[in-house]
Structure 1
Amino acid sequence: MNIAQFISMLHQDGYPEPLEVKREPLGQLGDHTHPFEVKALVIEGSIELVVNGIRKQYLSGDIFHLGFEELHSELYGPQGVRYLVSRKE
């Protein structure tokens, strides 16, 4: 999916404008939750999310979704990751 398609999808789903996030190469965040729902589009690099014991990698053009307070951990690829993210309260 490209950026324009992602932003259009966000608007249709009632999400606000996205913000850009950049994470360092080979970084990680342990188990945590967010007090909001998340939709994100990877625009560069890669990220692995572990949700309910299932690890999934997302590359440029992939979208990931996390539910309200969904427990997860994050691992960033060798080039780090850049993604657009929108949060829905």
Structure 2
Amino acid sequence: MDLPNFDEFQQKALAAGYDEVIEREWAPNTVLDTHAHPFGVHALLTQGEMWLTMNGQTQHLVPGSIFELKPDLPHAERYGAEGATYWVARKNA
């Protein structure tokens, strides 16, 4: 899969109304229990793997996977043995 570069991702996200775009890196085997964020999320996994659980469903995400979260949506995150990196656009309230 051909991934965009960070600048392309950032430009598209800002044009779509997101107001913050960052890169997040997670250590191997990190587990984040159920939590929520006050901002909306549009993210692209670029390295590693993760499992995202929301609404009772777990998705296995690999490089090239996109995920979105509405503000205040409870979810849990688990990262693989290599950790993970993703680019995330946030839409703050």
Q: Same fold (TM over 0.5)?
A: yes
How large is the Cα RMSD of the aligned pairs? 1.4
Q: Aligned residue pairs: how many?
A: 89
**SS of the residue 1:82 aligns to:** strand
Q: Which moved more, 1:48-57 or 1:7-16?
A: 7-16
2:45 paired with 1:42: yes
In structure 2, distance between residues paired with 1:6 and 1:53:
29
Alignment-derived partner of residue 4 in structure 2: 2
In structure 2, distance between residues paired with 1:41 and 1:16:
16
**Residue 15 of structure 1, CA deviation:** 1.0
2:56 paired with 1:56: no
Shift >2 Å, 4+ stretches: 1-9
In structure 1, distance between residues paired with 2:12 and 2:85:
19
In structure 2, distance between residues paired with 1:61 and 1:5:
14
In structure 1, distance between residues paired with 2:65 and 2:10:
13
In structure 1, distance between residues paired with 2:62 and 2:4:
12
Q: Which moved more, 1:37-46 or 1:13-22?
A: 13-22
Query: Structure 2 unaligned runs (5+)?
Result: none
In structure 2, distance between residues paired with 1:57 and 1:5:
25
On the 8 A contact 1:2/1:61 being kept in 2, the answer is: no
- The sequence identity of aligned pairs, in percent, is 35
- Length-normalised TM-score, structure 2: 0.85
Alignment-derived partner of residue 26 in structure 1: 29
